[in-house]
Amino acid sequence: MTHRWNGAVFGMTGAILLLGAGTRAVVMGARPAHRTQTVNVQMIGDEKGNRFVPANITIHVGDVVTWTNISGAHNVVFWADSIPAGTQTSLQGKMSATMGPLTGPLFAAPNATYTVSFAGLKPGTYKYYCLPHLALGMRAQVVVQP
Q: How far apart are CA 17 and CA 25, in angstroms?
A: 13
b/e code 25-46 from CB counts within 10 Å (16+ = b): eeeeeeeeeeeeeebebebbbe
Site string for Cu ion, 20-59 (x = CB under 5 A): ------------------------------x---------
Q: Closest CB to Cu ion among 42 and 90?
A: 42
Instruction: By CB under 5 A, tell whether 60 contacts Cu ion.
Output: no
Instruction: By CB under 5 A, tell whether 138 contacts Cu ion.
Output: yes
Q: How far apart are CA 86 and CA 92, in angstroms?
A: 11
Which candidate, 125, 117, 146, places its Cα nearest to that of 55? Answer: 125
Are 69 and 95 in contact, with CB atoms under 8 Å apart? no
The CA-atom distances, in angstroms, between 133 and each of 17, 72, 106, 113, 145 are 60, 10, 12, 18, 28
Instruction: By CB under 5 A, tell whether 74 contacts Cu ion.
Output: yes
Stretch that binds Cu ion, among 1-9, 79-87, 119-127, 128-136 (CB under 5 A): 128-136
- Least distance in angstroms from the C-beta of 136 to Cu ion: 8
Q: Closest CB to Cu ion among 60 and 74?
A: 74
Instruction: By CB under 5 A, tell whether 102 contacts Cu ion.
Output: no
- Least distance in angstroms from the C-beta of 71 to Cu ion: 10
Count the residues of the shown chain that bind Cu ion, applying the rule CB under 5 A.
5
Which candidate, 80, 73, 137, places its Cα nearest to that of 105? Answer: 73
Instruction: By CB under 5 A, tell whether 133 contacts Cu ion.
Output: yes
| Chain residues in the site for Cu ion (CB under 5 A) | 50, 74, 130, 133, 138
